[in-house]
Structure 1
Amino acid sequence: MTRFYPVETSVLHSPAWFVPYDEFAGRARTVGVATELDRFDPAANAWVPQDTAAIRTPSAAIAYPELGRRRGPGAEPERFRVRFEAVGLAPLYPADGEPFDATVTGVEFFAYPYDDVHPPGVLSEPRLVRLLPGVAFPYGPGVRTVSGAVVGATTRAPVANALVEARGATSRDGVPWLERTLTDPLGRFRLALRWEGQPVTGPPPEQIFHLTATERPGRTGALDIRLPTERDRRHVIEIVEQ
């Protein structure tokens, strides 16, 4: 596992820049985030752990400025991936706008060769890496949460790293809201519901929340829950082939 070092001199080139973002808090995460770097070995068709140290820039980005520093005949781009870890948080690896896939286990990128005279063939841009609350996330007092599991509809096997979401809009001003989490290796989830759901007249008065779970494109599930009456239930979302 790499350690982060402050940048004392300017970083000329880095094949990748990452900004960890705590989605629940709504801000960049500057402490408590660790990374592991792997290089893909085509001969072995496997990822190989690397000891290359990451550095943290003054703007809180994580970078690898020495990766790709080589030149010579036959120098080719190398494929890498970075895996993130933070207590209570789970990394969402697909970038914004990309389809979710639970099998994606890191952020992949290529390191293009460069030296003091020749810059890399492709320059990188900062990449936001969203960190979602996990099952063990320390929600503060008064935060409403619901718990359960995501399983396959036919196999009943737990689905690890599934994306569980709830969304809606506030009744007063129509501002959209979104809550998200990822399941743990046992398929369990714990999702915050800080906002209001769809009101249902009583008695008793309730709110309906529509939960969805995604394993990958074409494999999803959904479940409606009523609060507060179903708050303490174990909610099971079944993944089906679409």
Structure 2
Amino acid sequence: MSAFLPLARSTLYSPVWLVPFDDHARRVRAAGVDVRLERLDDADGWLPLDDRAVRTPSGSLAFPGLGRRAEPRAARPERHRALFAAAGYQPLYPADGHPFSAGLVGVEFLVHPYDDTHPPAAEVSPRLVRLLPSVSFPYPPATRTVHGVVVDAAGGAPVANALVEARGRTGQDLTPWHERTLSDARGAFRLALRWEGERAVEHAVEETFRVEAVERPGRTGSLLVHLPQGAERQHVIEIREQ
């Protein structure tokens, strides 16, 4: 972070640091990520801003100078949000450890006014923003995937932006694995299953995976996927109140 002065005095202070993270490759994504900034207006709702994100030496995306005012004492904190886009990915907006909700749009944060003599009201820490493979993600050849659609159990309507995931442990060393994706606007999903599923006996050919979908807390669904016979079929996950 050599481009930044100490937070209490820097005119380059950013009220948010966002780190795009490729959830499939398990690494920070350094390129090909676009970030749009919006501000919440009491009368007009979310308004697009022209502020451009700057990449820091540590790989974070920041907005230097956002919130700097000539008269900060006369201004109130304003709510902003950052919206991510990357080809082949969908952003997962809840922070790690927070409940998932398909209705979350962007990373929201407060921008506190400040100037050279009145430092920012709060320090910030980098926030990881996970990018999950979308339906169009270019998986490497031979990557095992399953596909399907997430729908509302009551009416059959597609559920967009649902979190679809599978978990398990490898057969040899019992290392935990976790694969996840998000459904698109039509409710469609495509989920990688790179690791071993459960087997009825040690050398059985059939592997079983539990695939779960979440729209929000209390609105979930799941099904069992059997491979290899279920590899080509379209799987339907029904979301209902739990």
What interval of TM-score do these two structures reach, taking the shorter chain for normalisation?
A: over 0.9
Q: Does 1:10 align with 2:4?
A: yes
User: Residues 57 and 76 of structure 1: is their aligned pair in 2 closer, same or farther, counting only changes over 3 Å?
Assistant: same
Residue of structure 1 in register with 2:174 after alignment? 174
More deviation, 174-183/193-202:
193-202
Matched residues in 1 for 2:239 and 2:46: separation?
29
> Structure 1, unaligned stretches of length 5 or more?
1-6
Deviations along 1:101-134, whole A, 9 cap, x unmatched? 0000100000111111221111111000000000
| Amino acid in structure 1 at the alignment position of 2:133 | P
Q: TM-score, normalised by structure 2?
A: 0.94
> CA-to-partner distance for each residue in 1:149-205, whole Å, 9 max, x for gaps?
000001100000000000000111110000000001000000000000001349972
Residue identity matched to 1:168:
G
* Counterpart residue number, 2:67: 68
The match for 2:134 is 134
For residue 9 of structure 1, report the CA deviation from its aligned partner.
4.2
SS at match of 2:74: coil
The Cα offsets for residues 71-126 of structure 1, whole Å up to 9 and x where unpaired, read as 34421111000000000011000000000000001000001111112211111110
Contact map agreement 2:2 2:57 (CA 8 A) in 1 = no
Question: 1:183-222, aligned counterparts within 5 Å?
Answer: 183-201=183-201, 205-222=205-222
CA contact (8 A) 2:37 2:82 kept: yes
- Could you say if the C-alpha distance between residues 59 and 72 of structure 1 is closer, same or farther in structure 2, counting changes exceeding 3 Å? closer
Q: Percent identity at matched positions?
A: 55
Q: By percentage of residues, which structure has more strand? A: 1
SS of the residue 1:200 aligns to: coil
TM superposition shift of 1:42: 1.2
Q: Say if 2:3 and 2:56, in contact at 8 Å, map to a contact too.
A: no
After superposition, the CA RMSD in angstroms is 1.6
Counterparts of 1:42-121 in structure 2, within 5 Å, are 42-44=42-44, 46-70=45-69, 71-121=71-121
**4+ aligned runs moved over 4 Å, structure 1:** 201-204
- Letter of the aligned partner of 1:191 in structure 2? L
Cα 1:174/1:77, change in 2 over 3 Å = same
Distance 2:4 2:202 in 1: 62
TM-score between both structures, scaled by the size of structure 1: 0.94
